[in-house]
Amino acid sequence: MVTENIIDYLLFMFPSCLPSEVNSLTESTSIALAQQIKLESIPTPLSQDGIATTYVNQGSGGAPILLIHGFDSSLLEFRRLLPLLSKKQSTWAVDLLGFGFTQRNLDIPLNPENIKTHLYCFWKTLIKQPVILAGASMGGAAAIDFTLTYPEAVEKLVLIDSAGLAKPPAIGKFMFSPLDYFAAEFLRNPKIRQNISRSAYFDKSFASLDAQTCAALHLKCPDWDKSLIAFTKSGGYGSFSRQILTIEQQTLILWGRQDKILGTKDASKFSQAIPQSKLIWIEDCGHVPHLEKPQITAKEILNI
């Protein structure tokens, strides 16, 4: 009995950078990815000290794939996609500056420019070769921004139900205290997060207890609320409608046919604006194809 308990403990050991609530995970893909999370101090021009950055790297061979998560999320949203990709190619997922489990340094203004700088330093420190850059939702906007600024670092681009064509929300201009605090606490509410999660899926059964745990783990990180407020006040990502006309990389656009978060109109707009692009509709799928249809999503990315 003692030996069995020790084996169980070793099998479910998690990195110390994750909050204790990680032990509530139940699905095998969630547990496996959480166990693989690493922490690296990334030197950047944003501060004298390195930024403790969380990431996962699995697989080998081929052009490396780098996965970028969405708003108020973490690399755990790739728990079903990353293992499929890494069977064929080296695959990375990283928590952006101010998000996920990456260190939140309140002395660094949290805005798209600094997020991009941190991402470039991560790429330059650990990957060091052109990547297939795949961004989901807000991560798509971050991927577009990165590609436009550092084209030499991106071999191909993948946009998954991507943001990047809408004007910045006006709410940031009105986020004064205590409204900013109330807004963050509203988003922390488990019922609110579950409603958002259900809206993201076509098949509502995916909005499981394990999914809720994955989506809320990073809320336990120090200064989650302060970083969320700072990013919102920065205005976040706006429209790249003019800039994407200059993207030279081959671009794959994956879009859930039943996306209720961003809708479906922007899929065609991206396809029409980006010169070397291909739009693939994923049927019976909502806003998160990488979670709801990971096999199809992986197949399309590997075939780009």
Ranges of each domain in the chain? 30-164+171-302
* pLDDT value, residue 167: 79
Strand partners, 133: 66, 157
Q: Looking at 43-152, which runs of residues are DSSP E strands?
A: 51-58, 65-68, 91-94, 131-136
* pLDDT value, residue 262: 96
* pLDDT value, residue 183: 73
* pLDDT value, residue 4: 45
Residue type at 50 in one-letter notation: G
Burial annotation 256-281 (CB, 10 A radius, 16+ → b, else e): bebbebbeeebbeebbebbeebebbe
The Cα 144–Cα 124 span in angstroms is 18
The Cα 162–Cα 5 span in angstroms is 44
The Cα 111–Cα 97 span in angstroms is 9
The Cα 54–Cα 44 span in angstroms is 15
* pLDDT value, residue 9: 39
The Cα 178–Cα 174 span in angstroms is 11
* pLDDT value, residue 174: 52
* pLDDT value, residue 185: 79
* pLDDT value, residue 240: 97
List the CATH code of the domain at 30-164+171-302.
3.40.50.1820
Residue type at 117 in one-letter notation: T
Tens of each residue's pLDDT in the chain, 304 residues: 444 443 343 446 899 999 999 999 999 999 999 999 999 999 999 999 999 999 999 999 999 999 999 999 999 999 999 999 999 999 999 999 999 999 999 999 999 999 999 999 999 999 999 999 999 999 999 999 999 999 999 999 999 999 999 976 655 555 555 456 667 777 789 898 999 889 999 999 999 999 999 999 999 999 999 999 999 999 999 999 999 999 999 999 999 999 999 999 999 999 999 999 999 999 999 999 999 999 999 999 999 9
Helices 138-149, 112-122: inter-axial angle, 10-degree rounding: 70
* pLDDT value, residue 160: 98
The Cα 192–Cα 183 span in angstroms is 12
The Cα 128–Cα 262 span in angstroms is 33
The Cα 121–Cα 63 span in angstroms is 19
pTM of the model: 0.93
301: Cβ–Cβ under 8 A, 6 or more apart, which residues?
Answer: 65, 85, 132, 134, 158, 252, 254
- Token pair for residue 130? 């052109």
